[in-house]
Structure 1
Amino acid sequence: MNKINMKIFVRRIFFHILSRFVLGVTIFSIVLMVIGYLVDDVIKSFANYEVFKFMDYNKSILFPVIWLLGCFTILVWHWIKTIKYIAIVAEASNSLINSDEEIIHFPLILKEMEDQMNNLRVHVLRKEQIAKEAEQRKNDLVIYLAHDLKTPLTSVIGYLTLLRDEQQISDELKERYVSISLEKAERLEDLINEFFEITRFSLSNLTLELSSVNLTRMLEQIAYEFRPMLAPKNLKCDLKAPSDVMIKCDVKKMERVFDNLMRNAINYSFEDSSITITLSQDESGVKLKFSNYGNTIPEEKLQRIFEQFYRLDTARTSKTGGAGLGLAIAKEIVQLHKGTITAFSKSDVIEFEVFIPVGL
């Protein structure tokens, strides 16, 4: 609830209680006047009795005192009711802290606050659930990675042992053993890097070091550097960009965004297809699109694709077995630049769109 709404809400509660108090006093005053009129006749009828004589003599003081006591009683009653409202809200706040899943119910006058606190409760519970799921995925990934480290390490040790112990080994077999050892060692390096990636993401707070950069040249360089990774699937990278587009950004971190998007596009592209990078610019900022042809991502997965440790493929393979942090880190970096990153997928086309505003 923002400040303006809170002021309106408090003012509404105040006038509600004030109107009830005024109404109560008015009704009490009318009733007291009627009772006073009736009692006055009774007093006159029994004026010979001392009690009624006393009441008749002091009625000018007695009835105002009764009226004041009645008004005070009505005021205290409404004051207690206000305190009860505060107690109800405080108790509901405890349910938010304790993650109570029960729906909050307030009196009708507090309906607006009831709705907002229930919305907040749902939001808090959702955040907690996301955090638990992310932590569980992280723990699972650490377990999987620790297990996966054994396989390439065992292979490297095995083949190097063969190279050391085998005296009569052909050059062809030696080359094959070295090639396999190198492949397994590279896989081992990837797994270790994933461990470091998890640690860096968990412990570091990203900050920006802004500078001007030629975005067109940066994209050209990235497209060129990824050529070796395109070859195994026979992929092509097509860059469509105006010349010399300048932006202000953290160059290293933005390179990491584009690197993660390119790796993602390569991992989930069909063989013999193409990856297209499109750059456009207007007065509000620059827009980049990374498009590739691959299996359509279901909507429910598309909504979670930027979550920490979330992976599209649950099976861990050497081709796509990342830690599930690349897109989460990319989103955080883009948001630090006050930009947006969104994902689309339809008809076997996957597209990531990044917008970076001007005036950082």
Structure 2
Amino acid sequence: MVTNLKNKKPYKKLVDKIFFQTLGLFIVAIVVVFFIRSIGQGEIGNTLTNIISNIFDVDWEPAQLMYIYNIRKYFDLIIVGTVILIFAVFYKVFLSWFTRYFDEMIAGVNGIANRNEKINMSPELHFMEDTMNQIKSDLEKSAEAERDLEKRKNDLIVYLAHDIKTPLTSVIGYLSLLDETPDMPIEQKSKYIHITLEKAYRLEKLINEFFEITRYNLNSVPLSKEPIDLSYMLVQIVDEAYPQLTASEKEVSLNIPQDLNLYADSEKMARVFNNLLKNAIAYSKSHSVIEISAEWKENKTEIRFRNQGMIPQDKLDTIFDKFSRLDAARQSSTGGFGLGLAIAKDIITLHGGTIYAYSDQSHFTIVIEMPGRGNSK
């Protein structure tokens, strides 16, 4: 693949700066050497002879001989020594220029952990400055998301503990009445037993939610894939949800081709479909029909759960987030804690598929797209 040279070498400005600095030092060194070389010639030689004549109080000719035998004779050695000295000085200066960039890089790396300061570098290091600031921003967003998730999870556990106590208190209370009043009228006893059973079901649901929260981590779960009869699995899922459908006066319409199979983990996909059906039952209108359909489309299996009812756009964007139903859960005695769709998304992603939702004026639809197709019957 051909890439832009500027993008391929974002450090070009740094290389150019080092090149011109080195070239400048080299030119200065040459100028200094030529200057020293010229000292032994022409007017500068005569000037040095005059200085020797004045210092030692001798005539011109003896002074010139002293200059030739004591200075001019060793001039090549003087030049070599001077060149070495100049090289050492300039090399030290060059290193100080060059290592300054390393100091900035180290400061930039240390600055990633500082939340309050933006990383600033020399213009030649802007490519690294941009990268470090992006990493810093990503880490801060990730840390903030983790803190928010942990807070929401802790809040949910606190709320859940409180909600568990409420039906448990009712169960104990009604059972105590039944125990203390053995001659209670049959109608009243039947009423108390019915209420106790409802509270026990609610308690069971809350405990199941608690287990979902505490064991929620599907990233490292291995998949055990096999061909799945999609029609048969969804019929079973709908049959298991019959009590909830009857209680809410809703129906399910299945439109699944008989020869359509999935190659996936059957246990986990059953969990996905169960969660989606529960969601559809909870959010669809009374006396409505929940439509479940599937088809083979463009090298993938597409499964749809469609029900009457709308979800606001702000909720639609977050329905697959973990614990996204905190407020709704506190307002409904039948609401969950926002893990069902999040778990469904993780399972689908683990299979290499995608899941998304959309809503129109009268219906809400969740779509699953799974890669590949299981063996036909």
- The separation in 2 between residues aligned to 1:214 and 1:5, in whole angstroms, is 54
The one of 201, 209, 213 equivalent to 2:224 is 209
Deviation beyond 6 Å, 4+ runs, structure 1? 4-7
Q: Within the alignment, does 1:325 sit opposite 2:339 as a pair? A: yes
2:164·2:206 contact (CA, 8 Å) conserved in 1? yes
Higher mean alpha-carbon deviation, 38-47 vs 193-202, is at 38-47
1:21·1:74 contact (CA, 8 Å) conserved in 2? no
- 1:348: how far off? 4.9
Question: Alpha carbons of 1:43 and 1:131: their partners in 2 closer, same or farther (altered >3 Å)?
Answer: same
> Which residue of the partner structure matches residue 94 of structure 1?
110
Q: Within the alignment, does 1:74 sit opposite 2:95 as a pair? A: no
Report how many residues are paired: 355
2:156·2:326 contact (CA, 8 Å) conserved in 1? no
- The separation in 1 between residues aligned to 2:114 and 2:253, in whole angstroms, is 50
> Which residue of the partner structure matches residue 25 of structure 2?
24
Mapping of 1:1-360 within 5 angstroms?
8-9=9-10, 13-14=14-15, 16-30=17-31, 33=34, 37=38, 40-48=41-49, 49-50=51-52, 54-96=70-112, 98-201=113-216, 205-282=220-297, 284-299=299-314, 301-311=315-325, 313-358=327-372
- 1:6: how far off? 10
1:217·1:244 contact (CA, 8 Å) conserved in 2? no
1:297·1:350 contact (CA, 8 Å) conserved in 2? no
- 1:70: how far off? 3.2
- 1:11: how far off? 7.1
1:160·1:181 contact (CA, 8 Å) conserved in 2? yes
Q: Any stretches of 5+ residues in structure 2 without a counterpart?
A: 53-65
- The separation in 1 between residues aligned to 2:67 and 2:316, in whole angstroms, is 86
1:244-286 Cα distance to aligned partner (Å, 9 max, x none): 2122111101111111122122222222333222322235322
Q: TM-score, normalised by structure 1?
A: 0.86
Higher mean alpha-carbon deviation, 210-219 vs 60-69, is at 60-69
Q: TM-score, normalised by structure 2?
A: 0.82
2:322·2:342 contact (CA, 8 Å) conserved in 1? yes
- 1:187: how far off? 0.3
Question: Alpha carbons of 1:32 and 1:132: their partners in 2 closer, same or farther (altered >3 Å)?
Answer: same
1:343·1:352 contact (CA, 8 Å) conserved in 2? yes
Question: Alpha carbons of 1:12 and 1:215: their partners in 2 closer, same or farther (altered >3 Å)?
Answer: farther
Which structure would you say has the larger Rg?
A: 2
